[in-house]
Amino acid sequence: MSDESQRWKDKYFACLEHQEQLERHWAERLDLLRRGLVRSSLAAEGNDRAVDECMRALREVVRGEQPEQGLAALLPRLEKAVLDSERRRQQHTQQNVAALSALAEQLLQLELPREVRKGLKQFLRRVEARITEHRELPAVLAELSGLQYQALQRFEGSREARPGLLQRLFGSREGADLATAGVAEAAAPGPSAPPAGETAIVPPEAAPEATAERSPAGAATITLDSLPLDPGLLLGESAGDPAYALPAAEPGYSAIAPHVAASLRRLLDELDLPAFHRPQAEALRQRLEGGLNWYELVPALDDLAVLVLAVADGGQREFADYLQQLNERLADFLGSLNSAQEGYADSQENVRQLDQEIRAQVGELQQSVQEATDLDGLKRSLESRLEKLLGRMAEYRQQRDRHDQALQQRLNGLVERVACMEQEAAVFRERLEQQRQKSLIDPLTGLPNRAAWNERLELEVARRRRYGGELLLAVLDVDHFKRVNDSFGHQAGDKVLKLVAAELARRLRKTDFIARYGGEEFVLLLPGTPPEGGRQLLEALRQAVEACPFHFKGERVTITFSGGLAAFVGEATAEEVFERADQALYRAKDGGRNRIELA
């Protein structure tokens, strides 16, 4: 064997050995990949049923002899299952955030210490960012559980320490004991004494020298001067501005039934109902005009809810019909464009055919001229050829006129459809803008709500970063608002919020912005205002609210608020400035309330 043959043989064996090494190497890699996929699929189980099924199928495919075909068929299904699982996970996360935020918001409605309210507000600001991580959920729940425990402990402690009716009425525990002793004693009633065991309340002019004495019958006689309440409260005297008068108490249904029926009728009148539901609405209106008792209220509310849902479904149905019509018109529009394009193609084809025919006619003319032997034959041949050529030109002109006319009609129809679609789109844009504006208004106070606040805050911060200037942020909180609800009822609390909001909005400048942040909290933006000027403005607002003549059965009820003011400095974010204003508000609360603190 020659040296050249031996060299090629050695080279072949070396390549063969290298190929075997590569096969073993790739076999090892494939085995590692299979083992990794199997273990990864096992680790991923337990989160979603569809993903678990795909993982089990993946393990079966990987353990097979030829996994390529199985993987090619399984991967699209696995990808869809993973995307669906991620979408459901995000939905669950949003639901968890909404539920936890709602629970924290409910706790904030209580009269809580500063550190508990601060912890709840910090929890609200961080909950959305923290709950996106599954491992953070137990910590978030533990933190909320601790805050809830502190709030409820405070609430239970205040309930246990709350004085009883006799103690609140007579001003001290001794007064309650005196009344109880009067009830326990038994004696023969005198002609002018109250029955045994009863307490007599005597006007101050009848017993000016006594504060509490025992009657011959053993009953406790209490003068009005000995009570911690205003005598006008018990004698029915009234004073103050009726616009600021608070409700006497949470009234019974018989007292508020006409107002409930009137409110329901106004709501029914504002509903734009479909024709199918109008008879039902008319029947409900007659029931409301006839007066409602307590037992008819729930069915009436159920019927009204059905009508409201009908309006909502009608709006969605109208929008869906509009989208369907828009889709059909766009399809028609596209068909017209396709027809126009086909007509243009036909026109181009006619032009090409005409050019070919003219060239053929001209070629035949040249050939006739070259083959002509006499002048008369040439003349007849030329006339025949020219007549054919003129006839073809006239036919082409007619086709072109018909095509132009059809194209013009199509274009006119398209213009009309586009104009109609633009008009309908403008109507829907206007409706959407109206709905958007309604969604930015707080229904109780009529002020912008928190969503409108976030939108305006982002705009003002962006404007300041671009053009510079002063920008102040203030947080206001009505003092002891829970006491108003507990003492006079929630209707009184709502009236206080409406009147305070109206008083604040009336005294602000046009460039200022106020919104209801939530509960009894209001937030303000003061652009182009230095800190001292903003402080003076808030002081004027505080004094104006304090001077409002709220009264309850003749008793003067003073409503005040505390506020924190912070300025945007440097590149500070809105969250940082709000936190500083919130801290200033807590300092104002700790400092005695009814004051303004500057951050």
User: Which residues form the catalytic set?
Assistant: 520
What's the CA gap between 354 and 124, in Å, rounded? 79
**CA–CA separation, 279 vs 98, rounded Å?**
39
The answer to whether residues 287 and 307 touch, using CB atoms and an 8 Å cutoff, is no
Query: At 394, which amino acid appears?
Result: A
Alpha-carbon gap, residue 120 to 243, rounded angstroms: 35
Distance, CA of 507 to CA of 444 (rounded, Å): 19
561, 545 contact by CB (below 8 A) = yes
The C-alpha atoms of residue 538 and residue 525 are separated, in whole angstroms, by 12
CA distance linking residue 580 with residue 480, whole number of Å: 22
The Cα–Cα gap between 60 and 51 comes to: 14
Question: What value, to the nearest 5°, has the Cα angle with vertex 129 and ends 127 and 133?
Answer: 100
Cα–Cα distance, 222 to 229 (Å, whole number): 13
Token digits of residue 389: 């050529």
Residues in the chain: 599
How many helices, marked H, and strands, marked E, lie in the chain? Answer: 17, 10
Burial letters for 342-364: b for 16+ Cβ neighbours within 10 Å, e otherwise?
eeeeeeeeeeeebeeeeeeeeee
Backbone angles phi, psi at 293, to 5 degrees: -100, 180
